[in-house]
Copies of this chain bind each other. A is one copy, B any other.
């Protein structure tokens, strides 16, 4: 079958010959699931510029000098070979790779300025780059937390619950890896994680770069779930990864291997230097950006050597550490300015720009929100094309919070409405309505109001706009406590998305076989 030429509903219908009771119950569930479609975010405003173009010239020039004169240490043998073959200068003793700016920029220019990220449900295929924005869940935390049970090590139950939340909310377009299921052995963890995300969601998955075998297993599961050939999968980005540069100026072996494997298979790689100013990058924001820019372009160049035209995303993560403690700080004024400058650079290079919704708070409290909002505004208005950690990130990324997930969803929903261009036309200017209402009167009953009553304004899911007395008498729940109720209710009401029974069987069989084979080798 080709999931590209038929809607999931048609596919579901076509496969509905009676084969098992299990399928019947799945069909009932599918019938209950609302049909949803990715609403592609685009930025209708001019992105904010933090610095004049001459400053962008200066940052570009300085980062070119980092690559030309200082170079990047590449620990991976094949990657160094690839750079050498492409014309870079490689010192095998020091493992340093240098190249001139003409070669670097020629390689970078091969990367597409935008691409589609395909879902197993074509309704959920979306676009990143060229003004288009995709939003992902949080990715990476080793801990999960909620108000009821507190903070605990990541586990499969929490992982799957985040899958359900990701599927339930339309402002989440693609999947991160919200929490690490530490209760699943590492040799088969990638199988279990990929199975859960492909089964419980229709959002394009994140794949960890934890060795070639694990990457290929995960891609095989994505391929099966999409119901496509390897040839089609390689043509259509369907999963993505993040390659962190081991800043400063170092690309390590697992990261390089992941970059190579994903690019060879046509899957997008986000290259994100881990440039925290004052620790892994210069203490100045401008210096941090110089280093980020050099490292990100260097990583993207590698992808283009492996597979010219490989989908690539420039990752902006430059923030700073607290100089008192060395702790990373996020959602700071420096972070906001760094994102704006990164957006200016990526637009100059014609590359999709990844950034993050981040904060350093230990609790889903007001700090977590003001830091998140500084992140969201600066990244979205800075021209972000792929927002990682869109919902659920807490504690500088050490915890995934169920309540913060809901708070973030509310904020993302508000942003989606804010990104809806304001309509100004004879109808919305409302002169007739203004003439209809006497001075000091009100508009509640006018025809203009009544015609727009239902859809006039943004409707929140978390905000409580009732008056104080009503709110107090209903238990005085603050927004974080309400978020706790909302996430649990969403999980209770969750209906899994439909999946073709043949695909289900093929995925199960693959996982069973690979598990029997012992999964992947763990170092």
Residues of A within 8 A of B (CB): 45-46, 48-51, 55, 58-59, 62, 65-66, 69-70, 72-73, 96, 151, 246, 248-250, 277-288, 290-291, 320, 322-323, 325-327, 329, 332-334, 336-337, 341, 360-374, 377, 381, 395, 398-399, 407, 410-411, 414-415, 417-418, 420-425, 427-431, 433-435, 437-444, 446, 448-449, 452-454, 456-458, 462-468, 471-472, 476, 478-480, 483
Contacts and interface: CB of A to CB of B under 8 A. Distances in A.
A281 B381 CA distance: 29
A288 B437 CA distance: 13
A372 B217 CA distance: 46
16 contacts: A58-B429, A70-B434, A248-B434, A248-B441, A278-B443, A283-B430, A283-B443, A283-B453, A287-B430, A333-B417, A334-B458, A361-B464, A362-B464, A367-B462, A395-B468, A399-B468
A424 B288 CA distance: 11
B46 A48 contact: yes
A282 B443 contact: yes
Contact of A407 (B326, B366, B399): B366
Given A325-B466, A457-B332, A439 B51 contact: no
Contacts of A454: 323
Nearest to A403: B366
Given A45-B49, A73-B440, A373-B373, A363 B478 contact: yes
Contacts of A58: 424-425, 429
Nearest to A334: B457
B429 A286 contact: yes
Contacts of A62: 429, 431
A160 B364 CA distance: 32
A287 B433 contact: yes
A428 to B, nearest CB: 4
A424 B51 contact: yes
Given A326-B444, A327-B466, A367-B463, A282 B471 contact: no
Contacts of A410: 370
A465 B287 contact: no
A69 B69 CA distance: 70
Given A50-B422, A248-B441, A456-B283, A430 B463 contact: no
Contact of A366 (B323, B364, B424, B467): B364
A452 B283 contact: yes
A256 to B, nearest CB: 13
A288 B456 CA distance: 12
A424 B53 CA distance: 11
Nearest to A418: B333
Nearest to A406: B366
A434 to B, nearest CB: 6
B464 A433 contact: no
B371 A370 contact: no
Residue among A278, A420, A452 with max Cβ neighbours from chain B (10 Å)? A278
Given A45-B48, A279-B442, 20 more contacts: A72-B439, A278-B456, A279-B444, A282-B448, A283-B430, A283-B446, A283-B453, A285-B422, A287-B428, A290-B429, A290-B431, A323-B456, A323-B457, A329-B463, A332-B458, A333-B458, A337-B422, A361-B479, A363-B476, A365-B480
A49 B45 CA distance: 7
A361 B481 CA distance: 14
Contacts of A448: 282-284, 287
Contacts of A427: 284
A265 to B, nearest CB: 28
Given A424-B286, A463-B360, A479 B46 contact: no
